[in-house]
Amino acid sequence: MENKVEIDIIKSSGIQVKFSFNKLRNSLKHSGADYVMIEEIVGKVGGEIYDGITTNEIYNRAFALLKNKKSVFASRYKLKKAIYELGLTGFPFGRFISSLLRYSDYSTKCNVIMEGVCVTHEIDVVAEKNGETTIIECKFHGEEGLNCTVETPLYIHSRFKDVHTLWNKKQSKNNKLNKGWVVNNTRFTEHAIKYGKCAELYLLSWDYPHKNGLKDRIDKLGLYPVTASTLLTNREKQFLLSRDIVLYRQLWKDKFFLDHLGISTSRKERILDDVNQLCSMKQ
């Protein structure tokens, strides 16, 4: 039930909206926290907010309270920010998308040069599955509130058509070039989605398609980026990314990297237990 408090808060886009207790509850529920924990956090946050507070400040407070309860819940809660953090480390967003697809039975390559009729193109990700090839362009936004406008799918569609035309002339009929993808870590505008549908591009963003967006795929498969960890330091995350440890679950197999970092046995056990709990959680 929605608490009756009229408080104006500021979104990352700068837009002023009314604070919603239910929206906070839903975001906390997504973390895996139970009813009692959620109500405790909602009560604390609700008692501290004021007119003009930002959504980022509310998030930070809720995150801190969750982290004090259980690190796994905090990691799930910070998923969106964890993807932003990937970009801040200088790690290409396309490599993260490539890693996700490999766990969906695709074989992938990043930064592939492909010939078009008019010019050559560097494609972020080329994925193959069941005799079909998919070319994927990844648009990363480093700030919240920046959505992907229609110009992006327009531009990518023109590149896809250039590659597709030459592909049909050169390739055998046994190797089909599937529709192009546009992947974005924030959201698509209404016009971008409309154009994508018309041009038969597959659009994938934080919450699009509905119930099959980026966040849904990550949750369902337990494919959290290593930046989602609340137990690793920024330096340790950067080290792991430089060794191509993109997904947190990779540490379960390549745990020797934790030894390379000089992490103590007791702390290593905590981290691996965190990996196991987070990456086995299903939405």
Question: How many structural domains compose the chain?
Answer: 2
* Within a domain: 64: yes
Considering the entire predicted model, what is its pTM? 0.88
Query: Can you read off the two tokens belonging to residue 248?
Result: 């947190």
DSSP single-letter state for residue 180: -
How many Å apart are CA 42 and CA 28, to the nearest integer? 9
Which pLDDT score, from 0 to 100, does residue 172 have? Answer: 60
| φ/ψ of residue 144, rounded to 5 | -70, 150
Question: Phi then psi for 113, rounded to 5 degrees?
Answer: -85, 120
pLDDT at residue 283, rounded to an integer = 45
Taking residue 151's Cβ as centre, other Cβ atoms within 10 Å add up to 12
In the listed set 178, 198, 220, which residue is the last one of a domain according to the structure?
Answer: 220
Task: Please check whether residues 46 and 138 belong to one and the same domain.
Answer: no
Residue 245's pLDDT is 93
End residue of a domain, out of 69, 86, 117 = 69
Residue 123: inside a domain? yes
Q: What HEC string does 89-133 produce?
A: CCCCHHHHHHHHHHCCCCEEEEEEEEECCCCEEEEEEEEEECCEE
* 276: in domain: no
Q: How many CA atoms lie within 13 A of 4 on its CB side?
A: 0
Is the residue at 122 inside a domain?
Answer: yes
Q: Considering the domain boundaries, does residue 121 fall inside one?
A: yes
- What CATH code is carried by the domain that includes residue 124? 3.40.1350.10
63/111 same-domain check: no
Same-domain status, 61 and 110:
no
Residues of the chain with pLDDT under 50: 1, 282-283
Residues 176-220: tens digit of each pLDDT = 888 899 999 999 999 999 999 999 999 999 999 999 999 999 999
- Distance in angstroms (rounded) separating the CA atoms of residues 205 and 126: 18
- Is residue 15 in some structural domain? yes
- Is residue 124 located within the same domain as residue 57? no
* Domain identity same for 210 and 157: yes
- 54 in a structural domain: yes
Spatial separation of the C-alpha atoms in residues 257 and 123, rounded to whole Å: 30
Domain that holds residue 56: 8-69
Residue 180, domain member (yes or no): yes
ω into 209 cis (within 30 of 0): yes
The residue with tokens 């440890």 is 245
